[in-house]
Amino acid sequence: MTGYGKASVTYQDKKITAEIKSLNSKALDLSTRISSLYREKEMEIRQTIAAVLERGKIEFNLWIEKESANIETPLNGPLLGTYYRQIQQICEEQNIPMAEDPWHILMRLPDVMTRTEVQQELTDEEWKAASEAISQCLSQMVKFREQEGAALQKKFEEKLDNIADLLAQIEPYEKSRTEKIRQRITDGLQSIPNIEYDRNRLEQEMIYYIEKLDINEEKQRLTNHLKYFRETMEGGHGQGKKLGFIAQEMGREINTTGSKSNQAEMQNIVVKMKDELEQIKEQVLNVM
């Protein structure tokens, strides 16, 4: 959702500039700074931005710059004369010599130079020009987001492949651990002197224990989530929240697999899967 766009158009003696910035956010958080001339169009501007961007912490600015050659900055004659007379009076009263060239002092005094601007009404032609600047600005933002989205999709594909590869690496350890569990329990019983036990009951208990540690369902669900994540990425615009939910479900299956893994090798693989998934969760916030 991060992005940036800026565009300017010229209308008569004005340069109209629109600028927009966006950061990650779960919802649309839009703040605007709009020139007073276009303030009446603020709701229309907000609706236009919301329809295009949908999500993100967005800052939008729209301002006017006038050609300096066409801006009149007259001197305030009456105030200038008042300042000059006051300086003369103070010099006489304090016996201070009058400056030979008082202009450099007078021109620095407050309000000597005043800029006059005629209040204008927004015409349809000017609003059309301003709308063009806004449209170009949003187009740049969308293009920026599309480029970032393509890079993110490539990143997600890489992380999903890594998780799938790590999941496949668990299988050899999963097969060997069943016999290890059975052997460890049997050895423990044999190490106790003068003990008698029901072998059939022991076999039933071991089957129950091994089934409790079985991770086939978790592996299948995680595989399905990986597939669904890929399909959702291809689903087009506005899939960011759904991708976040899928990533959460992937985390559940990985965590359950870790809790059932009673071998160091399997747990190390689970840690690696968590690391890959965490990188997905960090970046999925940047998806529309």
Q: Token match 């927009």: residue?
A: 20
**Is 175 found in the same domain as 211?**
yes
**Is 251 found in the same domain as 205?**
yes
Task: Evaluate whether residue 116 is within a structural domain.
Answer: no
User: Minimal CA–CA distance to 106: which of 81, 69, 137?
Assistant: 81
What is the Cα–Cα distance from 268 to 264, expressed in whole angstroms? 6
Task: Evaluate whether residue 244 is within a structural domain.
Answer: yes
**Is 9 found in the same domain as 26?**
yes
**Segment 46-105, tens digit of pLDDT:** 999 999 988 889 999 999 987 654 555 677 788 888 888 888 888 888 888 887 778 778
Three-state SS for 255? Answer: helix
Task: Evaluate whether residue 14 is within a structural domain.
Answer: yes
In percent, how much of the chain has pLDDT > 90?
39
pTM over 0.85: no
**Is 58 found in the same domain as 176?**
no
**Is 165 found in the same domain as 136?**
no
What is the Cα–Cα distance from 132 to 62, expressed in whole angstroms? 12
Tell me the helix, strand and coil percentages in the chain, rounded to 5: 65, 15, 25
**Is 211 found in the same domain as 159?**
yes
pLDDT at 72: 58
The whole domain housing 224 covers 148-284
- Look up the CATH number of the domain holding residue 7: 3.30.230.70
**Segment 245-274, tens digit of pLDDT:** 999 999 999 999 888 877 788 889 999 999
User: Minimal CA–CA distance to 64: which of 10, 6, 1?
Assistant: 10
Distance, CA of 236 to chain centre: 18
**Contact predicate 91/97, CB 8 Å:** yes
**Is 157 found in the same domain as 280?**
yes
Residue ranges of alpha helices (H) inside 3-123 are 42-53, 77-94, 103-106
pLDDT at 163: 95
**Is 208 found in the same domain as 253?**
yes
Asked if pLDDT for residue 2 goes beyond 90, the answer is: no
**Is 139 found in the same domain as 54?**
yes
Six-digit token string for 92: 């006489």
User: Minimal CA–CA distance to 32: which of 59, 64, 55?
Assistant: 59
Task: Evaluate whether residue 121 is within a structural domain.
Answer: no
**Is 50 found in the same domain as 11?**
yes
Question: How many independent structural domains does the chain possess?
Answer: 3
